[in-house]
Homo-oligomer: A and B are copies of this chain.
Amino acid sequence: VSAQVVPLLGVLCYGALLAFDNHAADAHLAPDLRRRAAMSELAAAEMTHFAALADRLRELGAAPEDAMAPFATALDRYHASTRPRDWLESLVKAYVGDSIADDFYREVAAGLAEPDRSVVLAVLHDDRHARFAVTEVRAATETDTTLASRLALWGRRLAGQAVGQATATVEANPSLRTLLADQEPGGGFEALVERLAAAHADRMALIGLQN
């Protein structure tokens, strides 16, 4: 029965590897060494998540690369369509992406049996990173409403692309769809997406980027 969880662990695993890659690239946008190091640490944390998920996949007899492969194109497309143009966009993207991912992990974990539940809950993002992003974005936008509007629009674009690519991913992977439907008696994947979008909107308001 545990093998049913392989596609789910696979998509989370590839998500972590890709987040690593994107945060590492985004570190080049940092305006100074201190911030570059902070974004690099954020990237490295994704590989800790990756390793935990890959270990569990191997335990289940699945090669991580095989479990990840079906999801590479859709997740690559999300990142290719949301390349940050500057440091603040990269921070908003990291914050939005990590938060949506965490909401998703928590929802999904609730429906899993042990040990998979604990594996998924263990890869939630460190609050420290979210605080770093929020502090930086708040400081930059406090007195600059034009910047705040631009980043608010960026946040909406990120969420829109995330929902679009997540939907495409689930459509293209029936086993993932079944898994999510099984554990989401309250409406399956579509209801899950709505909850994630609502939480995202609340978060954008909190960071001062509602629009």
Asked if A207 is at the interface (CB within 8 A of a chain B CB), the reply is: no
Asked if A120 is at the interface (CB within 8 A of a chain B CB), the reply is: no
Kindly state the separation between the CA atoms of A20 and B46 in the bound complex, as whole angstroms.
13
- In the complex, the chain B residue whose C-beta lies closest to that of A32 is B65
Interface of A is mostly: helix
In the bound complex, do residue B63 and residue A40 qualify as a contact, i.e. CB atoms below 8 Å apart? no
Give A138-161 interface residues, CB cut-off 8 Å to B: none
In the bound complex, do residue B21 and residue A37 qualify as a contact, i.e. CB atoms below 8 Å apart? no
Distance (Å) between the CB of A71 and the closest chain B CB? 11
Copies per complex? 2
In the bound complex, do residue B54 and residue A37 qualify as a contact, i.e. CB atoms below 8 Å apart? yes
State the interface size on chain A (CB cutoff 8 A). 28
Asked if A109 is at the interface (CB within 8 A of a chain B CB), the reply is: no
- Which of B21, B48, B65 lies in contact with A24, CB distance below 8 A? B21
Asked if A130 is at the interface (CB within 8 A of a chain B CB), the reply is: no
Chain B residues within 8 Å of A69, by CB: 33
Asked if A134 is at the interface (CB within 8 A of a chain B CB), the reply is: no
In the bound complex, do residue A50 and residue B54 qualify as a contact, i.e. CB atoms below 8 Å apart? no
Q: Chain A, 58-71, contact with B by CB distance < 8 Å: what is the 0/1 string?
A: 00000111001100
- In the complex, 13 of the A-B residue pairs with CB atoms within 8 angstroms, ordered by the A residue number, are A20-B40, A20-B43, A21-B24, A21-B27, A21-B40, A24-B24, A33-B64, A33-B68, A34-B64, A37-B64, A37-B65, A40-B47, A41-B50
